């Protein structure tokens, strides 16, 4: 009887079957198809990259023994990955996995094509496979748990973060969504989780990325026709940390690709950690299917810190910088800056700088001046809801009228002004502004902004509206 790929593989299967649990055999070996036998090299087709990773991680020794029994010393195994048509490409997608000689691969380097005309993978018995790709985590080691001080305002989020770091992908906090206002520690906590995981599990692939950068990379990949590479890159990650997911609002293409990546990671027991400036219920222009996934795990809020926590944060900062400061100064700063930890730190840094440059002692008087300036200089973030409320009040109408479909001139003008200020004072996209102000499209918002600019030049009364409203926002 002639030796074929089929016959060799069948013999291997008999051996493998005797050595592993029936369920594992069914899951990991039934779906494999032998495709080619050349000399001492057997090619087997596996359904996904994940499948390949799993085989390499858990069954490589067994596979090697089985194959060597059949083909003798020097037997080689070649994987062929054949994926079904999941991302809209017409042909099934076959690819090669990059080998370790690529060295450090950062997400920015995604333009390096990893798709190959040759659908075969390197022989895992000889060349280390995908597990050896190094992905730069983009983590900041200064943002760790040790210097993320605990208080009532962050206890839940911090402990959930710890739990996730102890067992990434292995808790019900998947995804873990950390949300809260500006400067309350979302980014710090996200990094801390990543840093802790890297310490505990150095082999896990961790990646921190802002939703903004993720979006830019995605747009680039579409332009360069490397969308599949983009998706596969993210599917390799064990722990994915995405900062400021509210940035995805109104960006349906990026949401769609993230949805697929998220599903893949989640299904494969990988950990996803997200941060956002609002709770999922308050997120605008995020597709329902994505929002519902955000809610699968745990949403933990970072609230404004209480007085005691603010004092501890200040003291810790001073301690780490090796600076001493009188209690009454710390107390003064903590009492007057309440809603933003970044501002709290900023004020104390400014005080340290002032005193060392001017060789002055830090007095209460100096502290008052710094804090006053600090609080005054901090631009308040305004929300689109707030803008609509202020503009409606100014024109003595209610918000529903401002948003209505009417073409009455004064209402149209009020609506256009609301759109103009939303563009000016928030980071929301035109599409998101439009949908929040009476469900209009982005072109309407763009038109509104241009009209307001024109009228500001030509219409004195209209100019006054703008000036009055600007004062209200500043």
Ligand X SMILES: Nc1ncnc2c1ncn2[C@@H]1O[C@H](COP(=O)(O)OP(=O)(O)OP(=O)(O)O)[C@@H](O)[C@H]1O
CB of 181 to ligand X, least distance (A): 7
Interface region with ligand X, contact rule CB under 6 A, candidates 64-72, 76-84, 180-188, 322-330 = 180-188
- Non-local CB neighbours of 38 within 8 Å, separated by 6+ positions: none
Counting contacts by CB under 6 A, is residue 194 touching ligand X? no
Q: Is 186 annotated as a binding residue?
A: yes
Q: How far apart are CA 303 and CA 339, in angstroms?
A: 9
CB of 216 to ligand X, least distance (A): 17
Counting contacts by CB under 6 A, is residue 343 touching ligand X? no
Which of 77, 41, 85 is CA-nearest to residue 59?
77
User: 41 or 187, CB closer to ligand X?
Assistant: 187
Counting contacts by CB under 6 A, is residue 345 touching ligand X? yes
Q: Convert 35-67 into a string of H (helix), E (strand) and C (coil).
A: EEEECCEEEEEECCHHHHHHHHHHCHHHHHHHH
User: 182 or 375, CB closer to ligand X?
Assistant: 182
CB of 132 to ligand X, least distance (A): 32
Which of 393, 453, 464, 458 is CA-nearest to residue 421?
453
Strands of the sheet with 76-83, listed across from one edge: 33-38, 41-46, 76-83, 93-95
Which of 182, 186, 178 is CA-nearest to residue 148?
186
Q: How many helices (H) and strands (E) does the chain have?
A: 20, 11
Q: Is 88 annotated as a binding residue?
A: no
**125-154 binders of ligand X (CB under 6 A):** 147-149, 154
DSSP for residue 120: B
Of 342, 369, 447, 472, which lies in the binding site for ligand X, with binding defined by CB under 6 A? 342
Number of residues that bind ligand X (CB under 6 A): 17
Counting contacts by CB under 6 A, is residue 215 touching ligand X? no
User: 317 or 415, CB closer to ligand X?
Assistant: 317
CB of 335 to ligand X, least distance (A): 18
β-pairing verdict for 41-46 and 33-38: antiparallel
CB of 431 to ligand X, least distance (A): 22
User: 240 or 313, CB closer to ligand X?
Assistant: 313
> Which pairs from 442-445 meet CB under 8 Å and 24+ separation?
442/250, 444/419, 445/419
Which of 284, 286, 289, 192 is CA-nearest to residue 241?
192
Interface region with ligand X, contact rule CB under 6 A, candidates 186-194, 257-265, 322-330, 462-470 = 186-194
Which of 276, 283, 334, 313 is CA-nearest to residue 157?
276
Of 107, 168, 175, 185, which lies in the binding site for ligand X, with binding defined by CB under 6 A? 185
User: 35 or 245, CB closer to ligand X?
Assistant: 245
User: Which is it for the CA torsion 122, 124, 127, 132, positive or negative?
Assistant: positive
Q: ∠ at Cα 173 (170, 178), nearest 5°?
A: 135
Q: Which residue is nearest to ligand X (CB)?
A: 185
Map residues 240-279 to x or -, x wherever contact with ligand X holds by CB under 6 A. Answer: -------------------------------------x--
CB 397 within 8 A of CB 360: no
User: 186 or 232, CB closer to ligand X?
Assistant: 186
Q: In the structure encoding, which two tokens stand for residue 137, read together?
A: 């985590």
Q: In the structure encoding, which two tokens stand for residue 348, read together?
A: 């104390």
- Other CB atoms within a 10 A radius of the CB of residue 43 amount to 21
CB of 237 to ligand X, least distance (A): 21
User: 183 or 297, CB closer to ligand X?
Assistant: 183
Of 313, 402, 417, 469, which lies in the binding site for ligand X, with binding defined by CB under 6 A? 313
Counting contacts by CB under 6 A, is residue 455 touching ligand X? no
Of 137, 187, 246, 392, which lies in the binding site for ligand X, with binding defined by CB under 6 A? 187
**Distance of alpha carbon 250 from the chain centroid:** 16
User: 197 or 313, CB closer to ligand X?
Assistant: 313
CB of 436 to ligand X, least distance (A): 19
User: 163 or 466, CB closer to ligand X?
Assistant: 163
Of 76, 188, 270, 440, which lies in the binding site for ligand X, with binding defined by CB under 6 A? 188
CB of 244 to ligand X, least distance (A): 6
CB 178 within 8 A of CB 273: yes
Residues engaged in binding ligand X (CB under 6 A): 147-149, 154, 180, 182-188, 277, 313, 341-342, 345
User: Residues comprising the binding site?
Assistant: 183, 185-187
């Amino acid at each position: 009887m002639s030796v074929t790929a089929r016959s060799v593989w069948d013999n291997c299967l008999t051996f493998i079957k005797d050595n592993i649990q029936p369920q594992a055999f069914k899951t990991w070996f039934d779906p494999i198809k032998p495709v080619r036998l050349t000399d001492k090299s057997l090619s087997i087709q596996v359904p996904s990259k994940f499948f390949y990773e799993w085989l390499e991680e858990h069954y490589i020794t067994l596979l090697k023994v089985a194959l060597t029994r059949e083909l003798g010393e020097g037997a080689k195994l070649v994987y062929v990955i054949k994926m079904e048509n999941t991302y809209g490409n017409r042909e099934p997608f076959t690819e090669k996995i990059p080998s370790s000689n690529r060295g450090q691969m950062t997400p920015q380097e995604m333009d390096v094509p990893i798709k190959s005309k040759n659908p075969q993978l390197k022989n895992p018995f000889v060349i280390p496979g995908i597990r050896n790709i190094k992905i730069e985590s983009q983590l900041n080691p200064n943002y760790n748990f040790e210097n993320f001080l605990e208080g009532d305002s962050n206890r839940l989020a911090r402990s959930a973060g710890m739990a996730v770091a102890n067992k990434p992908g292995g808790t019900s906090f998947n995804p873990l969504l950390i949300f809260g206002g500006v400067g309350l520690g979302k980014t710090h906590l996200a990094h801390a989780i990543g840093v802790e995981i890297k310490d505990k599990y150095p082999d896990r692939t961790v990646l921190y990325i802002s939703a903004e950068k993720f979006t830019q990379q995605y747009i680039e990949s579409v332009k360069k026709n490397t969308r599949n590479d983009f998706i596969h890159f993210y599917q390799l990650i064990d722990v994915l940390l995405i900062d400021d997911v509210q940035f995805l609002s109104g960006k349906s293409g990026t949401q769609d690709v993230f949805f697929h990546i998220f599903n893949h990671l989640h299904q494969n027991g990988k950990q996803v950690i997200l941060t956002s400036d609002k709770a999922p219920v308050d997120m605008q222009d995020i597709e329902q299917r994505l929002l519902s996934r955000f809610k699968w795990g745990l949403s933990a809020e970072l609230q404004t810190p209480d007085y005691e926590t603010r004092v501890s944060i200040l003291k810790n900062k001073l301690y780490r910088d090796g600076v001493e400061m009188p209690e009454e100064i710390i107390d003064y700063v903590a009492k007057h800056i309440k809603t933003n930890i970044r501002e709290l730190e900023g004020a104390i840094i400014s005080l340290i700088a002032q005193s060392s440059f001017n060789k002055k002692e830090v007095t209460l008087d100096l502290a008052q001046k710094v804090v006053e300036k600090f609080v005054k200089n901090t631009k308040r973030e305004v929300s689109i809801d707030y803008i609509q409320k202020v503009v409606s009040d100014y024109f003595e109408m209610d918000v529903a009228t401002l948003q209505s479909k009417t073409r009455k001139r004064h209402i149209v003008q009020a609506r256009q002004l609301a759109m103009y200020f939303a563009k000016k004072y928030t980071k929301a996209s035109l599409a998101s502004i439009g949908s929040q102000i009476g469900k209009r499209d982005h072109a309407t918002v763009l038109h509104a902004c241009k009209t307001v600019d024109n009228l500001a030049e030509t219409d004195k009364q209209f100019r006054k509206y703008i000036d009055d409203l600007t004062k209200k926002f500043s």
